[in-house]
A = this chain, B = another copy of it.
Amino acid sequence: MTRQRGTGGVKAKKRLAEPTAKPRAAARAPANRKATIRDVSRLAHVSRMTVSRYFSNPDLVLPATRERVAQAVSRLSYVPDRAAGSLTTRRSGFIALILPTLTNSNFAAVAKGLTEILRSLNYQLLIGYSSYSISEEERQIELMLARRPEAIIVTGEQHSRRGTTLLMGAGVPVVELADLPSRPIDRAVGFSNRDVGRVAAAHLISLGHKNIGAIAAGRTDDMVDFRGDARLESFEEALKTAGLRTDLVLRYGEPPVSYAHGAAGLAVLLEREPKLEAVFAISDIAAVGLMMECRRRRIEIPRDLAVMGFGDFDIAAEMEPPLTTVGVNFDELGRQTGTLVVDLISAGTSAEARVTNVGVSLIRRGST
């Protein structure tokens, strides 16, 4: 079974199957086959096991031996193949994370918070994003599962039927993020998007506004921002409960909402109600776009129009006037999720409740 130098030992028939169709391993770097543990062991004149120990538990290797292995490893630029290793250890070292988008700094913050916790424990985040598409999320779940992650983190409580089935049968901890599922698949760390809508409405109403508008994205069969919708719906309900009009609650376009959503939204609202007094955008991004449009139209904030958003994106505090918003500590959300996941993997359990609420808070600033 020796098959070191040259290709001795390999069946010569291999030549047959070379119809340039499929890319073969050697296609690109003929001279450069990746070094294996066997190459190292031979160079260092030790067994493969000793090389393995050198990486997993160096103390078990005699210093002199260790040094020889180190030399060989360095000479060959050897990096152990984790995929091969995990086959035996049954630990992939992957934590899967499926987000709606990467282009949202709040979600990026979650990834950052998670990484902080996972890095020292040598887990690697396997990040995927669904572009707010339910079918794409399902595809991502399957892709992730194929990599045997030790835990899987998804966004929200709404998934495709098959996606849910896959998650339930995953056999590893599952965490749903940024929501408070009434019936979590396994665990959840999030906040109430309905609370966000209520807090926003309460704030605007308490300021005495009557003609209150709102801006959100629409939805297609496949693309939905469930959490944004929840914020909008609860906002609308709160308006209704207060006996206020709800015909200024706008949904249009595809998620995620953009600056342009906010700018265009203002135009629509103003046409519908010139005496518009306040607007809640389900994302700071739309709120900022709207504020810029106000500027173009010489509408002074908050004197002529009160504006608030959601997310407390970096730009919110920097705006002039600074944007009132409903904030969530996404960094912390990521860290808590990381801690939970690590507990779940190592202890198989955690003191945390099945559903953890990190809460939301009104961040009152100059735009209202």
From known contacts A87-B87, A146-B82, A147-B82, infer whether A296 and B318 are also in contact, taking CB-CB under 8 Å. Answer: no
Interface readout for A136-156 with B: 1 if CB under 8 Å, 0 if not? 000000110111100000000
**What separation, in Å, do the CA atoms of A109 and B142 have in the docked complex?**
24
- Asked if A346 is at the interface of the complex by the 8 Å CB criterion, the answer is yes
**What separation, in Å, do the CA atoms of A124 and B311 have in the docked complex?**
29
B171 x A348 contact (CB < 8 A)? no
Instruction: Pick the contact of A83: B87, B172, B346 (CB < 8 A).
Output: B87
Q: Which residues of B have CB within 8 Å of A33? A: 171
From known contacts A23-B345, A25-B90, infer whether A79 and B318 are also in contact, taking CB-CB under 8 Å. Answer: no
Q: Which of A45-53, A203-211, A243-251, A287-295 contacts B (4 or more CB under 8 A)?
A: A287-295
Closest approach, in angstroms, between the C-beta of A125 and any C-beta of chain B? 8
A172 x B103 contact (CB < 8 A)? no
26 contacts between A and B (CB under 8 A): A1-B90, A23-B345, A23-B347, A25-B91, A27-B348, A28-B344, A28-B345, A32-B169, A77-B165, A77-B166, A79-B166, A80-B146, A81-B146, A82-B147, A101-B108, A102-B102, A102-B112, A103-B105, A103-B112, A105-B105, A115-B129, A125-B127, A125-B128, A260-B318, A289-B318, A295-B320
B80 x A315 contact (CB < 8 A)? no
Instruction: Pick the contact of A348: B23, B111, B314 (CB < 8 A).
Output: B23
- Asked if A223 is at the interface of the complex by the 8 Å CB criterion, the answer is no
A259 x B296 contact (CB < 8 A)? no
Closest approach, in angstroms, between the C-beta of A335 and any C-beta of chain B? 16
- Asked if A173 is at the interface of the complex by the 8 Å CB criterion, the answer is yes
- Asked if A126 is at the interface of the complex by the 8 Å CB criterion, the answer is yes
- Asked if A92 is at the interface of the complex by the 8 Å CB criterion, the answer is yes
**What separation, in Å, do the CA atoms of A172 and B295 have in the docked complex?**
52
Q: How many copies of the polypeptide does the oligomer hold? A: 2
A259 x B318 contact (CB < 8 A)? yes
B315 x A288 contact (CB < 8 A)? yes
Closest approach, in angstroms, between the C-beta of A264 and any C-beta of chain B? 11
**What separation, in Å, do the CA atoms of A12 and B165 have in the docked complex?**
34
**Closest residue of B by beta carbon distance from A260:** B318
**What separation, in Å, do the CA atoms of A13 and B124 have in the docked complex?**
32
B92 x A103 contact (CB < 8 A)? no
Q: Which residues of B have CB within 8 Å of A29? A: 171-172
Q: Which residues of B have CB within 8 Å of A344? A: 28
Closest approach, in angstroms, between the C-beta of A131 and any C-beta of chain B? 9
A228-266 at interface with B (beta carbon < 8 Å)? 258-260, 263
A266-292 at interface with B (beta carbon < 8 Å)? 288-289, 292
Q: 9 nearest interchain CB pairs?
A: A77-B169, A32-B171, A83-B83, A27-B348, A295-B320, A25-B90, A82-B146, A259-B318, A102-B108
- Asked if A84 is at the interface of the complex by the 8 Å CB criterion, the answer is yes
Closest approach, in angstroms, between the C-beta of A107 and any C-beta of chain B? 9
**Closest residue of B by beta carbon distance from A322:** B292
B92 x A102 contact (CB < 8 A)? no
Closest approach, in angstroms, between the C-beta of A20 and any C-beta of chain B? 9
20 new A-B contacts at CB < 8 Å, known A101-B108, A315-B315: A25-B90, A25-B91, A28-B172, A28-B344, A28-B345, A28-B348, A32-B171, A79-B145, A83-B86, A102-B102, A102-B112, A103-B108, A105-B105, A115-B129, A125-B128, A127-B127, A259-B315, A259-B318, A292-B320, A295-B320
